Structure 1
Amino acid sequence: MKPIEKEKIFLTQSYFKYPLPEEMLKELSEELKDINRYPSGGEYAKLRQVLAEYVGVNKENILPANGSDEVIEIVSRAYKGEVLIPIPTFSQYEISADRNGLPKILVNCLRDGEYVVNYSTQQLKSASLVWLCNPNNPTGTRVPREKIIDILQRAEGMVVVDECNYEYLGETVIDLIGKYENLVISRSFSKNFGLAGLRLGFAISNPKNIKKLAAFGQNFRVNRMAEKAATKVLKYLNYYQEVWEKMKRVKDKFVWQINEMGFSAYDSKANFVLVEFKDKEETERVWEYLKEKDIYALPGWEDEFSGLGDQFIRFTIGEEREMDRVVEVLSDYVKRN
């Protein structure tokens, strides 16, 4: 008899780990017969309209992209100059700055277990590009609306608010794009709708900024399947909303259980949870113990993050049985140590 393989639990990349709607997948598979054809390209008029209706703006406010990573790259190329990055945060802001030879200032915003964006007036005056991730990756921290407005008012350059986890947070500053000319927002279909493999993101801003950004993107920047998928997934918004609520419950339960063990789990508003341990040595022991039990999470020394210390591990929120297994293994670790 063939031995039963142990389930491997991957909680590294922060993608959508729940099943996708079967009918949606069936509809999308029917598009495969046309993959010999090019996507719309250029204006992407229909896709822009679909995305605009979803977020409540005009299609002239939308620029579709090959994932939010391309939004980051396009913005970096369009607004060259000094870049402000609030660490610890998503590493692509720093990587894109380096790739384009841009000077950068990494501002430490994490002190005593609390993440607070603390750009100085001088930094905001000198920077051409200011990054904000809301909720922040990897801490999952909410950046208050009043803080974002304060930065928009004080910044001389462009302010980009990465809202890739908007659907979990439920807060946005899209309504401010008409008031602040220096505001660009980035969104994604990867983490919230399960399309990470198709790569679909988009920028939201005033038409003038969108036109400028478009000049730095490729003509066929969104592939045909991603273009078709956007329309199809939004037909199943009720399903996704139910899953998002379930994920929040699983996440909150996980945070409480981790804190009860004596570790420090951050109050996350995203689909992941950052856990802080005593020091690097303990973090390495925990990480190795999890791997021995076929559980894979993302330690702070990985290149997913800019400025995150070695005493952290980030866990993507999976299905409840997966998170219960993580808690079971960590509880066993605590008993043994």
Structure 2
Amino acid sequence: MNREKESIRSLEPYVTNPTVCSVKLDANEGDKDLYRDLLKKLGESDITLNYYPDDSYSELKKEINNYVGYEPKNITVGNGSSELLDLCVKTFVDKDETILSLDPTFSMYSIYAQVFSAKYIGAKAEEDFKVNVDSIIKDIKENNPKLIILCNPNNPTGSVLTKKEVRKIVKSTDALIALDEAYMEFGDESLIDEVMDYDNLLIVKTVSKAFSLAGIRMGYIVANEDIITSIEKVRAPYNLNSLSAYIATEALRQKERMFDYVKKIKEEREKIYKALVYLGVKAYKSGANFVFFKSDIDNLQKKLVDKDVLIRKFSGKLDGYYRVSVGTKGQNEKFLEAFKEVI
């Protein structure tokens, strides 16, 4: 007997690539050594694992405040930005209401919509995956979405909406807009300083990318108090464990490390982009910690795996497209060396 609810019967589980390579550049992860010393500090801390976490996450929110400049009443935290975006759908979208996003974009947005029996619309990008703001606004007016999710910089293309463009979209509608800025530390167009200027905007951030802490699964939302209060009604108690909260707090206290790391990633990203273009590859300018490109080489991913390098391969409408994370200087050099050998 199939006991699944109707909305999820056509879904396939989200499966990560189990391939093991010494140069792993497929998942936009950061430098394993950036905050490695916090593991030792964690072991020396006085965390008590027999107690539930402080559900107000007061120390963590204090450091988020020091980073982005907003009080705890304007912040909620969660088990990665993925949980928080799921919470946004759970909080604000009813069955048969519409969620609008970009196409292509992060695949989980459409999955969240399907799980909650909502309609999903992907606003088509133009040639070269450029986002046409006027076209998005037209789609918004025609489809009247309850929630709009914008990934900026966009994953997997790396394209960036400017502040001016995001403002134009936000002002064009009363719909709630969730601005997913998971990669924005690598870009220069964050709207975080203006989030309180709009009553229909929330911004989702994470420590997975720029802070190189994907393994602790900590993200947060910044928004006006009304939006945060609504999400708090749905958020499960103790949704972030004590260990993750501690490490995220300590990393935010040492955010200068992240700033230095981001500077290096931007420099390495430009090197990879220019090297691919020089090799005749159709690569796309990126505002994130990866480079998206097209290649007609048969079995490119497998040929790179044979050289101990793993990148992300896409399929379906993006067949022939790839995404390589920007790693350490040594990892990037190994990727480019392997790529040159393949071609």
TM-score (norm 2): 0.88
Matched residues, number: 319
Is residue 2:137 matched to residue 1:137? Answer: no
What are the residue-to-residue correspondences of 1:49-64 with 2, within 5 Å? 49-64=62-77
Distance in structure 2 (CA, Å) of the matches to 1:198 and 1:22? 12
Closer/same/farther in 2, CA of residues 331 and 32 from structure 1, 3 Å limit: farther
Is residue 2:294 matched to residue 1:295? Answer: no
Contact 1:87 1:110 in 2 (8 A): no
Find the counterpart in structure 1 of residue 79 from structure 2.
66
Deviation at 1:90, TM superposition (A): 0.8
Q: Write the letter of the residue equivalent to 1:53.
A: N
What are the residue-to-residue correspondences of 1:217-232 with 2, within 5 Å? 217-232=235-250
Q: Write the letter of the residue equivalent to 1:54.
A: Y
SS of residue paired to 1:71:
helix
SS of residue paired to 2:41:
helix
Question: Gaps spanning 5+ residues in structure 2: where?
Answer: 1-19
Find the counterpart in structure 2 of residue 195 from structure 1.
213
Contact 1:67 1:201 in 2 (8 A): yes
Find the counterpart in structure 2 of residue 35 from structure 1.
49
Q: Deviations over 1:288-337 (max 9, x none)?
A: 21111111111112xxxxx8511111111111111111111111122xxx
Residue identity over aligned pairs, in percent, reads 27
SS of residue paired to 1:90:
coil
Distance in structure 1 (CA, Å) of the matches to 2:201 and 2:342? 46
Identify which of 175, 197, 221 aligns with 1:157.
Answer: 175
Contact 1:247 1:271 in 2 (8 A): yes
Deviation at 1:199, TM superposition (A): 0.9
Deviation at 1:47, TM superposition (A): 2.2
SS of residue paired to 1:197:
helix
Distance in structure 2 (CA, Å) of the matches to 1:21 and 1:78? 34
Find the counterpart in structure 1 of residue 60 from structure 2.
47
Q: Write the letter of the residue equivalent to 2:249.
A: T
Is residue 2:270 matched to residue 1:252? Answer: yes
Q: Deviations over 1:134-168 (max 9, x none)?
A: 11111111111111111111123101110111211
Distance in structure 2 (CA, Å) of the matches to 1:53 and 1:240? 14
Deviation at 1:33, TM superposition (A): 5.7
Distance in structure 1 (CA, Å) of the matches to 2:256 and 2:319? 39
SS of residue paired to 2:121:
strand
Question: Gaps spanning 5+ residues in structure 1: where?
Answer: 1-5, 302-306
Distance in structure 2 (CA, Å) of the matches to 1:204 and 1:139? 25
SS of residue paired to 1:119:
helix
Give 4+ residue runs of structure 1 displaced > 4 Å after superposition.
Answer: none
Contact 1:130 1:157 in 2 (8 A): yes
Contact 1:18 1:319 in 2 (8 A): no
Identify which of 304, 316, 321 aligns with 2:330.
Answer: 321
SS of residue paired to 1:227:
helix
Q: Deviations over 1:27-72 (max 9, x none)?
A: 122248622321111x323322221221011211101111100111
Find the counterpart in structure 1 of residue 11 from structure 2.
none
